[in-house]
C-alpha cells in the first residue's frame, strides 16, 4: 500500500489502490447507523452523473464468504447497484478487524459534517453570480425550488442588515405586585 510521510508519522493511502470488483461480491455491513433521506440519495445520483464516481467504496475482505464488506460508501454502492444497475464497482480494501471497522464507519459518517444555512445561502448567491438559474441550482444541489428561494431570501436579508448594529426591540421592567 502506498504511504505518505507527514510530521506526525506515516499515513497509508488506500485511495491510491482502488480495484474494480463485480458488484455482486460487495455486501453491506450489519452495523451502520447512517441513513440518507431520499432527496439526498437523488443528489448523490446527480453528483455521480455530474462528476463521475470519485470516491471508491471502502471495504474489508471476508474470506469466509468471499465478499467485500462495506465499511464506508453504502449509499454510493446502492446508487451504483440499484439506480445505475452497474455490474462492477470500484473499491478499496482495508485490513481491519471488526472493532476497527465499526469505529471507522462511524468516523467516516461523522467526519462529513453538516451544512450551515448561512453558508449555503452564500453558496447559492455565488452560483447565481456565476449565472446559474434557480432550476440549475435546485437540480445540482439536490434542493426544491422553494429551498433555493428561501436561501436567496436569507442571503438578501442578511445583506440588507450587514452593517447594522444589533439592538433589543424591547426591554424587561420589574413591577411591584399589587
List of residues 6+ apart from 15 with CB closer than 8 A = 56, 92
**Could you read off the pLDDT of 39-60 as tens digits, one per residue?**
889 999 999 999 999 999 999 9
Q: Hey, how many other C-beta atoms are within 10 angstroms of the C-beta on 99?
A: 8
The pLDDT value recorded for residue 160 is 43
The pLDDT assigned to 11 comes to 93
What does the pLDDT read at residue 153?
A: 81
Per-residue cell: 132: 446559474
Interatomic CA distance for residues 11 and 156, integer angstroms = 44
* Contact present, 18 and 91 (Cβ < 8 Å): yes
pLDDT for res 28: 92
Q: Is the dihedral of CA 54, 60, 66, 69 positive or negative?
A: negative
Report, in this order, helix, strand and coil percent for the chain, each rounded to 5.
45, 20, 35
Predicted local confidence at residue 115, as pLDDT: 57
Q: Which residues of the chain have pLDDT under 50?
A: 160-162, 164
Residue 170's pLDDT is what? 61
C-alpha cell at 57: 467504496
Q: Compute the radius of gyration of the chain from its Cα atoms.
A: 23
Q: What is the pLDDT of residue 161?
A: 46
27 contacts 69 by C-beta, under 8 angstroms: yes
pLDDT value of position 83:
94
Amino acid at each position: 500500500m502506498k504511504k505518505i510521510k507527514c510530521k506526525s508519522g506515516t499515513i497509508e493511502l488506500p485511495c491510491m489502490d482502488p480495484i474494480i470488483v463485480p458488484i455482486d461480491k460487495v455486501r453491506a455491513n450489519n452495523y451502520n447507523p447512517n441513513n440518507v433521506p431520499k432527496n439526498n440519495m437523488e443528489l448523490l445520483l446527480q453528483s455521480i452523473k455530474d462528476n463521475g464516481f470519485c470516491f471508491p467504496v471502502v471495504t474489508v475482505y471476508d474470506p469466509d464468504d468471499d465478499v467485500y464488506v462495506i465499511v464506508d460508501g453504502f449509499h454510493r454502492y446502492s446508487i451504483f447497484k440499484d439506480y445505475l444497475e452497474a455490474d462492477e464497482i470500484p473499491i478499496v480494501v482495508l485490513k481491519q478487524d471488526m472493532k476497527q471497522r465499526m469505529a471507522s464507519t462511524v468516523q467516516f459518517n461523522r467526519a462529513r459534517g453538516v451544512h450551515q444555512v448561512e453558508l449555503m445561502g452564500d453558496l447559492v448567491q455565488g452560483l447565481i453570480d456565476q449565472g446559474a438559474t434557480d432550476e440549475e441550482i435546485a437540480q445540482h444541489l439536490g434542493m426544491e425550488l422553494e429551498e433555493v428561494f428561501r436561501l436567496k431570501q436569507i442571503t438578501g436579508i442578511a445583506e440588507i442588515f450587514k452593517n447594522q448594529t444589533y439592538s433589543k426591540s424591547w426591554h424587561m421592567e420589574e413591577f411591584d405586585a399589587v
